[in-house]
Structure 1
Amino acid sequence: MSARESRIVDAATLQRLGLQIAAGDPGIRGELRYENPAWIFGHRLKNCSVGAFTFFNAAGLTSAYRVQFGRYSQIGESSVIGPPEHPYDWFSNHPFAFTRPNLLPSMYVMPEFVRLAPEASDAPSFAEEAPNDTIIGHEAYVGVGCFVKRGVRIGDGAVVGARSVVTRDVPPYAIAVGSPARVIRLRFEDRIVERFLALEWWRYDLAPFKQHVDFAKVEATLAFFEERKSLGELQPLRPDSYRITQSDAGLKLQQLDRPLYFA
């Protein structure tokens, strides 16, 4: 994905560009890509992407690592999503055995750790070869205090109940709860779920139609947007999208040439 020239920005500028973050410590680690608008406040996101209208509860502290958040996803406070895993079957599962300077730079500031730990030129690390991104689907909901294992996919429209421990994929529009989390039912009947997945409403700009629907009435609203789609009246949602990286001077912002999703 190509990008335009970068510039240093503050929290107030990012808010004008559709990202709600904390003014003190914005919580961004590594890189963040986002679509306008998104709300992450002071939560800690490391190397994540956030789709339009995704919202993190302002309270508590949620940590997310290498997570792709879809559009309209909602994340409860005090959750941990996609944390790094350790090789428990190695001689040692401590980071000295498998990390690299680019992965844990804060540990490499200690000379004694540098003396023991791998160097940047060593072969690819366990962390780089472990399961990749965790996926939180479009309009998925992760409740308060959840743990989501790295590499898990939570499907579009799925709901994860509070305090759940998610160790395996959750199907679209399923409700999963518990430790470990298990699917207890779907949000809607199978035929309704199939219609939601065929419509993929999160791809489109719904704002022009907000006075014509009652979102509490599921089947009527589905039918309305299905008809609009069949008539070619739904326009793609193409939010301005940005890439933020850390630098010694502050947060560096680049505007991307196209949205993160459905480009």
Structure 2
Amino acid sequence: MISIGCQAELSNFSPPCEFEPPVKINGLLQDTSIRSFTYIQNGSSIIDTDIGRFCSIAMNVSTGAGEHPVDWLSSHPFVNDPHDVAAGLSNCYPDYRAWLKGVPSRVTDRGGDRVTIGNDVWIGEGAFVRRGVTIGTGAIVAAHAVVTKDVAPFSIVGGNPAKHIRYRISETLIDEVLKSQWWEFDLRPIIEGMDFSDVRASVAKIQEASVHGLIERFIPPRYLIDHDGAKLVSR
């Protein structure tokens, strides 16, 4: 168990990964960065993804999974994965390497760039997020949604493919919350008695506290997970 503000086993990480504490990771992370106060539940597979602060990721969520060619002779990775990254069959069947000698005249990528998940995002159980998608700060992804396009900040989306249902808060408040960047601050000096159900009043209190120097930015250390374990990279 990693004890430096990270509730996770090294087996949860496929390096390289980065995190800033505190985080709790019960799923599997591959080439992923995760920021403070985010937690990931059992069965989730998070690949090539950058995750902000205060995110809640439920069980069996998948982000950034590789994609396959759909109009080639085969959709199997032997036609476009010469290093056997996806299937890993050569680990148990060395002769499989002889199947990786094709020379395709076309290139198929893995479906796009990295997944980006903003701050304070809630992703429900069993959701799937395609490579290259950006989920904006404050958004909610419903359980079992299939997200193939970017999600606007504070939008609630659901379905297959996922579509906008409504905004989580009043549209007139979205810009105020985004400008406040509350997730970047240590709110402990002002948090007692705050009514978080009143979004406007909460934002006003945070902004006032920031102006008067009552709160400071929360700047935790940052750790890199490589094959040798966790290493401090910034403080």
TM-score by length of structure 2 reads: 0.90
Aligned equivalents of 1:190 and 1:20: distance in 2? 36
Q: Alignment identity in percent? A: 30
Aligned equivalents of 2:173 and 2:158: distance in 1? 22
CA deviation vs aligned residue, 1:43-91 (integer Å, no higher than 9, x gap): 111111111000113xx40111101111111101011111111121233
Is the contact made by 2:33 and 2:49 (CA closer than 8 Å) also made in structure 1?
A: yes
In structure 1, the partner of 2:63 is 81
Following superposition, the deviation at residue 131 of structure 1 comes to: 1.2
**Is it true that 1:114 corresponds to 2:97 in the alignment?**
yes
Is the contact made by 2:44 and 2:62 (CA closer than 8 Å) also made in structure 1?
A: yes
**Is it true that 1:131 corresponds to 2:112 in the alignment?**
yes
CA deviation vs aligned residue, 1:93-147 (integer Å, no higher than 9, x gap): 211122243734833322221112159xx99x7447x511101111011001111
**Is it true that 1:70 corresponds to 2:52 in the alignment?**
yes
**Is it true that 1:159 corresponds to 2:140 in the alignment?**
yes
The one-letter code matched in structure 1 to 2:28 is R
Is the contact made by 2:77 and 2:84 (CA closer than 8 Å) also made in structure 1?
A: no
The one-letter code matched in structure 1 to 2:100 is A
Residue 52 (structure 1) aligned to one of 10, 27, 36:
36
1:98-247 pair list within 5 angstroms? 98-101=80-83, 103-104=85-86, 106-109=88-91, 110-118=93-101, 126-127=108-109, 130-246=111-227
The one-letter code matched in structure 1 to 2:5 is G
Aligned equivalents of 1:166 and 1:75: distance in 2? 14
Q: Which runs of 5+ in 1 are unaligned?
A: 1-10, 259-263
Residue 252 (structure 1) aligned to one of 212, 221, 229:
229
**Is it true that 1:91 corresponds to 2:73 in the alignment?**
yes
Change (3 A) 1:126 1:226: same
Is the contact made by 1:167 and 1:180 (CA closer than 8 Å) also made in structure 2?
A: yes
Q: Which runs of 5+ in 2 are unaligned?
A: none
Following superposition, the deviation at residue 233 of structure 1 comes to: 3.6
Following superposition, the deviation at residue 196 of structure 1 comes to: 0.5
Following superposition, the deviation at residue 20 of structure 1 comes to: 0.7
TM-score by length of structure 1 reads: 0.81
**Is it true that 1:26 corresponds to 2:11 in the alignment?**
yes
Q: Secondary structure at the match of 1:209?
A: coil
Aligned equivalents of 1:40 and 1:102: distance in 2? 27
Is the contact made by 2:189 and 2:214 (CA closer than 8 Å) also made in structure 1?
A: no
In structure 2, the partner of 1:8 is none
The one-letter code matched in structure 1 to 2:18 is R
The alignment of Structure 1 onto Structure 2 pairs a total of residues equal to: 233
Residue 23 (structure 2) aligned to one of 23, 27, 38:
38
